[in-house]
Amino acid sequence: MKIALPNVGNMINPHFGTSKSFVIVSVDNGKINNAEEISTAALAHQHEGLADLLVKNGVSVVIAGGIGGGAIAGLENCNLKVIKGAAGEYKMVIEEYLKGNLKDKNVVCNHHCEH
């Protein structure tokens, strides 16, 4: 399984739409196997393009902080599972997800360009 998280360094970016990169983490047998960072600079605010990029990288789950409805729709239209409202260091968030402790907080942003 591959999980993507918008990041700023080792932390989850709380503003999905401003993310310049994502960490894609490979998980095998409940353990983090590999993590790589990919740039999204060329895809700013292109939700379907971002979803396609994640799908091409084998992602099946996206864990985000605050995220807008357009981004959620773009990701879900590509059959990606979206978990909203996460915060903190991405490795700790993934570990909580793998333990079954990370719940979707339904954090949906309804503003645009207010960051």
Task: Report the C-alpha gap between 20 and 43 in whole angstroms.
Answer: 9
Question: What is the extent of the structural domain holding 85?
Answer: 2-109
Residue 115 falls inside a structural domain: no
What pLDDT band is residue 111 in, cutting at 50, 70 and 90?
low
Residue 42 falls inside a structural domain: yes
Residue 10 falls inside a structural domain: yes
pTM confidence score:
0.88
Task: Report the C-alpha gap between 19 and 9 in whole angstroms.
Answer: 11
Residue 114 falls inside a structural domain: no
Tally of domains within the chain: 1
Tens digit of each residue's pLDDT (9 = 90 or more) over 35-88: 999 998 766 555 567 888 899 999 999 999 999 998 899 999 999 999 999 999
Q: Which long-range contacts (CB under 8 A, 24 or more apart) does 39-46 make?
A: 45/17
Q: Are 8 and 40 in contact (CB under 8 A)?
A: no
Phi, psi torsion values for 48, nearest 5 degrees: -70, -35
Q: How many CA atoms lie within 13 A of 34 on its CB side?
A: 6
Task: Report the C-alpha gap between 54 and 25 in whole angstroms.
Answer: 11
What's 54's DSSP letter? Answer: H
Tens digit of each residue's pLDDT (9 = 90 or more) over 19-31: 899 999 999 999 9
Q: Which of 64, 65, 63, 41 is nearest to 53 (CA)?
A: 41
Residue 53 falls inside a structural domain: yes
CATH of the domain at 61: 3.30.420.130
